[in-house]
């Protein structure tokens, strides 16, 4: 996996709560057996008109969001299915970071989506609802909104304002070092074999 | 140290604590379907890695398969995906129940049926509804494709232990109110993110009174409340399910006795500590119907579509957007909502008991004019059982379509789809925009409520109809 490096990019802010995985990538795009080619399917029900042309109303199609690499949504982002295709679509559309707010006891991200992001080098940043409101306000302008994401320092910086964010230390290390989980786990072969020799899986050979 | 049910199973499966708060967790059963696995097998091939335990891995094809015929898949892209799974299973020595198999079915239906799912095990699948298997007292959760690849290669996962959330269903449900209504009530109360970061333990009199089928329905929708897992402590109902019928992969004889001894230790100790707790009184629970585009947008059948500012877990804007999509207005009676389609099936409600209950409501009656009704058994085993009990005849005579097993209109990857603005009473688990077809409008209900709506042509309190 590629290492996550500090970068400056353009924001695309989609003002909806509970953006589910069916919205991120509708099921007709799940039939591929490849890991690539999902970028154009991101948000396809909202992004395209019935005739396949771009829906000019949808923010991703607006000039200010062209080339965007920072996706901002509302709480419970990525709820629904476990389809990693949703993260592949986000990443292959060019997004490296997704930002969503914690509002009361409603977290920014659904568990499986957040987990799948880490596996694909995509950083999820949870901010307060006031901070995310501020980003939506700044993103209302016609000009593209730029931000710098520094994972090492845990900062999101805009021209006018800077926010710090919390991050799970295991996640931070994986992203910064670009670690491959499977390779790391295979190094633990002795522990796994040792465990297997004393563990009962209860399987009957039919 | 007092332990919860979850703690006991988790501790049995921790291989090693890892830096950063994760553990390396052993996985006893890996279920695989065609949609979320091809890229994982491809990843193994590219790295020259092999499947560590093919005998602990079980595959079927459910999402893409047509349910009106078992002869061929006409969609070439869907066929390629199903063929890829079949080939991957041959190449890696994995048990595979393809479209032609009498054991094929929705992955979460066949796990329990075949004795693959057992109390005290860890079960994963590249599918969020893997929570279903927790009904046996197993730690079962959905994973993404990268994690599928990790399990194939290592039979382990790197996991952080979730928080633990005890949900007690107190009292007894009224007649006509089902497991589906219990879990919809929960989601309505805490919202679709209420359980995020947690594993539920469901307990209480109303849970103990449920059959295995009902318990599977409750755990199935744990993910709709945000929790990756939902568990129920095994009891005699669980043991009977595993031992009374033939479950090919369940332990036998001496091994079975040893397992049952272990299963009897699987309960939360009296003083075990939970991070969160909730008590839901079900004595007055009504049959539930969703009105919006999130499973938490739900109300009782004798209620009305809510006012924009009257829904605790959703903002007025969210409610407005949902009602616009659904073509509904605040204040409408739920019983005035007319339907075009009824879908009875899915990993939530495609088991034999669901079909029996739906058939009872439809027996000797006729489906309302203009309403299309699809009854899709959750597995081929369920289909044979239903046909042996002549349930298929009841559905046919009422004017419903009787199908082969598959996920079907739950997510509409196969040809069973809603058209734009078509309204469906569905026993499935998600009412997201476009879930059952672009522009389609989904209302989640129990099997008996779906059957009652099929007869009436609109939602109706099933208790008034039978």
- Is the pLDDT score of B1 beyond 90? no
Helix (H, G, I), strand (E, B), or coil: what is residue B408? helix
Is there a contact between B144 and A206 if contact means CB atoms under 8 Å apart?
A: no
What is residue B202's predicted lDDT score, i.e. its pLDDT?
A: 98
What pLDDT, on a 0 to 100 scale, did the predictor assign at position B242? Answer: 97
Q: Which two tokens stand for residue B236?
A: 């005699």
Q: Residue A80: its chain B contacts at CB < 8 A?
A: 128, 430, 432
| CB nearest to A199's CB, from B26, B64, B143 | B26
Q: pTM (2 decimals)?
A: 0.97
Q: How confident is the model at residue B465 (pLDDT cuts 50, 70, 90)?
A: confident
Contact at CB, B127 and A87, closer than 8 angstroms? no
Is B128 in Cβ contact with A82 (below 8 Å)? yes
**Do the chains contact at B226 and A188, CB–CB below 8 Å?**
no
pLDDT digits (tens, 9 = 90+) for A117-160: 999 999 999 999 999 999 999 999 999 999 999 999 999 999 99
A28, burial (CB in 10 Å: exposed 0-12, middle 13-18, buried 19+): middle
State the pairing for strand pair A7-13/A146-150. antiparallel
Instruction: Indicate yes or no: CB of B75 within 8 angstroms of CB of A31.
Output: yes
CA distances from B437 to B357, B375, B404 (A): 27, 17, 20
Q: How many CB pairs under 8 A join A and B?
A: 205
Between CA A182 and CA A196 the distance in angstroms is 18
Q: d(Cα A21, Cα B340) in Å, to the nearest integer?
A: 26
Burial B417-441 (b: 16+ CB within 10 A, else e): bbeeebbbbbbbbbbbbbbbbbebb
pLDDT at B332: 98
Per-residue confidence band for B20, with pLDDT thresholds at 50, 70 and 90: confident
Q: Do A107 and B19 touch (CB under 8 A)?
A: no
| Pair of tokens at residue A151 | 């994972």
Which one of B12, B194, B249 has the shortest CB-CB distance to A206? B249
Say whether A76 and B42 touch across the interface (CB within 8 A): no
Is the pLDDT score of A4 beyond 70? Answer: yes
- Average of pLDDT values for B208-227? 98
Cα–Cα distance between B130 and B105 in angstroms, integer?
14
- In the block, which residue shows the tokens 């006509």? B176
Indicate yes or no: CB of B251 within 8 angstroms of CB of A202. yes
Q: Which one, of A28, A198, A134, A201, lies nearest residue B155 by Cα?
A: A201
Considering Cα of B117, then B123, then B128, then B134, what sign does the dihedral take? Answer: positive
Tell the burial category of B156 from Cβ atoms under 10 Å away from its Cβ (0-12, 13-18, 19+). Answer: buried
> Residues of chain B with pLDDT > 90: what percent?
97
Closest CA to A46 of B36, B321, B77: B321
User: Nearest-CA distance from B28 to chain A in Å?
Assistant: 5
Q: How far apart are CA B232 and CA B229, in angstroms?
A: 10
Rounded to an integer, what distance in angstroms lies between the CA atom of residue B197 and that of residue B459?
35
Closest CA–CA distance from residue A18 to any residue of chain B (Å): 8
- Shortest Cα distance, chain B CAs vs residue A9, angstroms: 27
Give the end-to-end CA distance of chain B in Å, rounded to a whole number.
51
- The complex's ipTM works out to 0.95
pLDDT of B466 reads 59
The dihedrals phi and psi of B442, each to the nearest 5 degrees, come to -105, 130
Residues B201 and B233 sit within 8 Å (Cβ to Cβ): yes
- How far is B192 from B292, CA to CA, in rounded Å? 12
Find the DSSP H helices in chain A. Answer: 21-24, 44-47, 85-92, 111-119, 129-139, 169-177, 181-186, 189-198
User: What pLDDT digit, counting tens, does each position of B163-208 carry?
Assistant: 999 999 999 999 999 999 999 999 999 999 999 999 999 999 999 9
Q: Where are the alpha helices (DSSP H) in B14-75?
A: 38-46
Q: Name which of B133, B99, B137, B398 is nearest B267 in CA terms.
A: B137
Cβ contacts (< 8 Å) between B49 and chain A: which residues?
182, 186
State the average pLDDT over residues A183-190: 97
Q: How far is CA B107 from CA B31, B81, B246, B400, B418, in A?
A: 7, 16, 18, 25, 23
Query: How confident is the model at residue B423, as a pLDDT?
Result: 98
Give all strands (DSSP E) within B311-408, no chain letters.
341-344, 372-375, 401-402
B340 within 8 A of B369, measured Cβ to Cβ: no
Partner residue facing A31 (CB), from B78, B126, B149: B78
Is the model's pLDDT at A206 over the cut of 70? Answer: no
Structure tokens at B452: 């009652």
In 3D space, the residue among B363, B426, B354 whose CA is nearest the CA of residue B390 turns out to be B363
Give the nearest partner residue to A22 out of B15, B248, B432, using CB atoms: B432
Q: Which two tokens stand for residue A68?
A: 């965007």
Question: Min CA distance, A170 vs chain B (Å)?
Answer: 4
| Nearest-CA distance A22 → chain B (Å) | 7
CB contact under 8 A, B35 and A83: yes
Share of chain B above pLDDT 70, in %: 100
CA distance B136 to A24: 32
Q: What is the mean pLDDT of residues B105-119?
A: 98
Q: Are strands A7-13 and A70-72 parallel, antiparallel or unpaired?
A: parallel
Q: What is the pLDDT of residue A126?
A: 98
Q: How confident is the model at residue B40 (pLDDT cuts 50, 70, 90)?
A: very high
> Is the CB of B255 less than 8 angstroms away from the CB of A191?
no
CB atoms A203 and B259 under 8 Å: no
Q: What is the dihedral of CA A126, A129, A130, A135, to 10 degrees?
A: 60
Q: Is the pLDDT of residue A1 over 90?
A: no
Q: Which two tokens stand for residue B342?
A: 């009824």
Burial classification of residue B271, based on how many CB atoms lie within 10 Å of its CB (0-12 exposed, 13-18 middle, 19 or more buried): exposed
- How far does the CA of residue B59 sit from the closest CA of chain A (Å)? 16
Q: Do A22 and B250 touch (CB under 8 A)?
A: no
Q: Which of B11, B193, B228, B434 to probe by mutation at the A interface, max A CB count within 10 Å?
A: B193
pLDDT of residue A105: 87
pLDDT digits (tens, 9 = 90+) for B418-445: 999 999 999 999 999 999 999 999 999 9
pLDDT digits over A20-55, tens only? 999 999 999 999 999 999 999 999 999 999 999 999
Instruction: From chain B, pick out residues whose CB is under 8 angstroms from the CB of A116.
Output: 144-146
Residue A18 has pLDDT above 80, yes or no: yes
């Amino acid at each position: 996996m590629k290492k996550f490096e500090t970068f400056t990019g353009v924001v695309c802010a989609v003002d909806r709560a509970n953006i589910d995985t069916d919205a991120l990538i509708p099921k007709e795009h799940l039939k591929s057996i490849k890991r690539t080619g999902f970028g154009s399917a991101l948000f396809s029900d909202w992004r395209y008109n019935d005739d396949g042309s771009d829906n000019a109303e949808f923010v991703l199609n607006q000039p200010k969001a062209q080339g965007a690499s920072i996706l901002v949504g509302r709480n419970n982002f990525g709820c629904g299915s476990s389809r990693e295709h949703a993260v592949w679509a986000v990443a292959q559309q060019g997004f490296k970071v997704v930002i969503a707010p914690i509002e009361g006891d409603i977290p920014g991200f659904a568990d499986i989506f957040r987990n799948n992001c880490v596996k694909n080098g995509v950083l999820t940043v949870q901010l307060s609802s006031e901070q995310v409101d501020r980003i939506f306000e700044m993103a209302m302008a016609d000009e593209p909104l730029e931000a710098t994401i520094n994972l090492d320092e845990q900062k999101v910086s805009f021209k006018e304002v800077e926010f710090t964010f919390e991050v799970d230390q295991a996640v931070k290390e994986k992203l910064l070092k670009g670690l491959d989980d499977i390779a790391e786990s295979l190094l633990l072969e002795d522990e796994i074999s040792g465990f297997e020799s004393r563990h009962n899986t209860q399987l009957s050979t039919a | 140290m007092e332990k919860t049910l979850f703690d006991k199973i988790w501790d049995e499966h921790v291989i090693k604590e890892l830096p950063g708060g994760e553990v390396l967790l052993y996985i006893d059963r890996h279920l695989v379907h065609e949609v979320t696995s091809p890229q994982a097998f491809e990843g193994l091939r590219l790295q020259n890695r092999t499947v560590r335990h093919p005998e602990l891995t079980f595959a079927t094809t459910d999402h893409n398969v047509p349910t009106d015929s078992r002869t061929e898949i006409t969609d070439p892209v869907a066929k390629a995906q199903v063929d890829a799974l079949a080939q991957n299973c041959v190449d890696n020595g994995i048990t595979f129940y393809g479209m032609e198999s009498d054991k094929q079915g929705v992955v979460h239906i066949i796990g329990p049926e075949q004795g693959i799912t057992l109390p005290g095990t860890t079960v994963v699948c590249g599918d969020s509804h893997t929570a279903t298997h927790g009904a046996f007292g197993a730690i079962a959760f959905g994973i993404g494709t990268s994690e599928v690849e990790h399990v194939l290669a290592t039979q382990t996962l790197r996991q952080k232990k979730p928080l633990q959330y005890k949900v007690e269903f107190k009292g007894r449900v009224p007649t006509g109110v089902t497991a589906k209504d219990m879990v919809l009530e929960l989601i309505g109360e805490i919202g679709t993110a209420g359980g995020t970061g947690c594993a539920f333990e469901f307990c209480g009199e109303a849970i103990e009174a449920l059959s295995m089928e009902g318990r599977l329905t409750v755990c199935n929708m744990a993910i709709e409340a945000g929790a990756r897992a939902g568990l129920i402590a095994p009891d005699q109902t669980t043991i009977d399910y595993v031992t009374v019928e033939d479950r090919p992969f369940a332990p036998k004889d001496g091994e079975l006795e040893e397992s049952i001894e272990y299963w009897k230790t699987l309960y939360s100790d009296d003083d075990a500590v939970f991070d969160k707790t909730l008590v839901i009184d079900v004595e007055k629970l009504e049959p539930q119907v969703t009105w919006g585009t999130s499973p938490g947008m739900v109300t009782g059948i004798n209620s009305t579509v809510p006012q924009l500012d009257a829904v605790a877990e959703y903002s007025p804007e969210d409610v407005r957007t949902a009602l616009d999509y659904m073509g509904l207005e605040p204040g409408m009676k739920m019983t005035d909502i007319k339907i075009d389609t009824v879908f009875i099936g899915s990993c939530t409600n495609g088991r034999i008991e669901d079909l029996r209950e739906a058939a009872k409501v439809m027996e000797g009656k006729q489906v309302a004019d203009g309403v299309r009704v699809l009854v899709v058994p959750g597995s081929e085993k369920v289909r044979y059982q239903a046909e042996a009990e002549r349930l298929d005849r009841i559905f046919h005579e009422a004017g419903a379509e009787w199908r082969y097993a598959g996920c079907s209109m739950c997510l509409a990857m196969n040809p069973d789809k809603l058209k734009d603005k078509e309204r469906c009473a569905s026993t499935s688990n998600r009412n997201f925009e476009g879930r059952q077809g672009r522009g389609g409008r989904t209302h989640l209900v129990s099997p008996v409520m779906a059957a009652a709506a099929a007869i009436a042509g609109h939602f109706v309190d099933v208790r008034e109809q039978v």
